[in-house]
């Protein structure tokens, strides 16, 4: 993932310029909603470019596309229940089996495709980052979890319900809350606690009951298509 450090360096340099101090001591006014959304979009673009530049075969691209679409469609039946997101469990399982970049791409597709039906908006890049990161990080457990893979992934899913909420709160906080300080951010986090708890509990239920079967199915596809981890 060679483009990621470069993208982050450019983003941090840009933000440092945006918030530089004038000689008179005043700061440039920064639209933090736009700045944070730009960071999310640039991070997604960096991973997409990395995936496009990888030696991925047509079968692998097709599998990522199918899993991303399936994950997106899994949101639709549960749309009436706030924060119950079965797609998170599928993204975590896919990232664990297929690799970090593939997992990230499935998370990106989940947000984009599902929001074409549920509603696109400025929150979409944050969902891409939140779900994509879940798919990328889950693969780290493949080398350390051993026989307790389902337990490890279930713990990750439980934690990620709140991580996902924190990322989405960042969008809401920078776009709609004033002033931007620790107190208002803490209040924003507290207001979403029960929604994040539902997401977390749903991840635990889906991963503990379906995670093992899903991973075995994905591993068979991986062996059949002879996919190479990126």
Domain annotation for the chain: domains and CATH numbers: 55-225 (1.10.1760.20)
Q: What's residue 35's pLDDT?
A: 56
Q: What's residue 156's pLDDT?
A: 94
- Average the pLDDT over 117-146 and give the result: 83
d(CA 214, CA 219): 9
Q: What's residue 79's pLDDT?
A: 81
137: DSSP letter: H
- Residue 21, classed as helix, strand or coil, is strand
d(CA 175, CA 184): 12
| Closest of 214, 125, 103, 197 to residue 159, by C-alpha | 197
Greater confidence (5 vs 171) lies with: 171
Q: What's residue 146's pLDDT?
A: 57
Q: At 99, give phi and psi (nearest 5°).
A: 130, 165
| Closest of 196, 195, 194, 170 to residue 184, by C-alpha | 170
d(CA 230, CA 219): 16
Q: At 21, give phi and psi (nearest 5°).
A: -95, 130
Please provide the size of the chain in residues. 230
| Closest of 101, 89, 66, 213 to residue 160, by C-alpha | 89
CA angle 183, 186, 187 (to 5 degrees): 85
**pLDDT tens digits for 5-58?**
455 455 445 544 444 444 444 444 555 555 555 666 666 666 666 656 565 566
Greater confidence (47 vs 69) lies with: 69
Greater confidence (107 vs 38) lies with: 107
Query: Confidence band (pLDDT; 50, 70, 90) for 209?
Result: very high
- Average the pLDDT over 178-185 and give the result: 86
Query: Confidence band (pLDDT; 50, 70, 90) for 110?
Result: very high
218 pLDDT higher than 70: yes
Cβ atoms within 10 Å of 57's Cβ, excluding its own:
13
Query: 20-39 burial string, b = 16+ CB within 10 Å, else e?
Result: eeeeeeeeeeeebbeebbeb
Q: What percent of the chain has pLDDT over 90?
A: 31
Burial of 60 (0-12, 13-18, 19+ CB in 10 A): buried
Greater confidence (211 vs 16) lies with: 211
Q: What's residue 21's pLDDT?
A: 40
């Amino acid at each position: 993932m060679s483009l990621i450090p470069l993208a982050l360096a450019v983003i941090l340099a840009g933000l440092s310029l945006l918030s530089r101090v004038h000689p008179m001591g005043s700061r440039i006014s920064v639209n933090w909603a736009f700045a944070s959304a730009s960071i999310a979009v640039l991070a997604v673009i960096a991973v997409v470019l990395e995936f496009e530049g990888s030696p991925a075969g047509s079968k692998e691209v097709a599998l990522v596309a199918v899993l991303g679409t399936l994950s997106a469609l899994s949101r639709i039946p549960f749309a009436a229940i706030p924060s119950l997101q079965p797609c998170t469990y599928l993204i975590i399982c896919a990232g664990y089996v297929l690799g970090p970049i593939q997992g990230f791409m499935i998370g990106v597709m989940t947000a984009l495709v599902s929001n074409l039906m549920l509603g696109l908006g400025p929150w979409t890049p944050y969902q891409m980052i939140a779900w994509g990161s879940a798919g990328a990080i889950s693969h780290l457990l493949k080398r350390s979890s051993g026989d307790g893979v389902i337990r490890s992934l279930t713990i990750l899913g439980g934690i990620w319900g709140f991580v996902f909420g924190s990322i989405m709160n960042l969008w809401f906080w920078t776009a709609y809350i004033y002033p931007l300080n620790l107190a208002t951010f803490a209040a924003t986090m507290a207001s979403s606690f029960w929604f994040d708890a539902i997401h977390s509990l749903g991840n635990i239920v889906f991963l503990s009951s379906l995670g093992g079967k899903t991973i075995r199915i994905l591993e068979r596809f991986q062996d059949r298509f002879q996919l190479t981890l990126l």
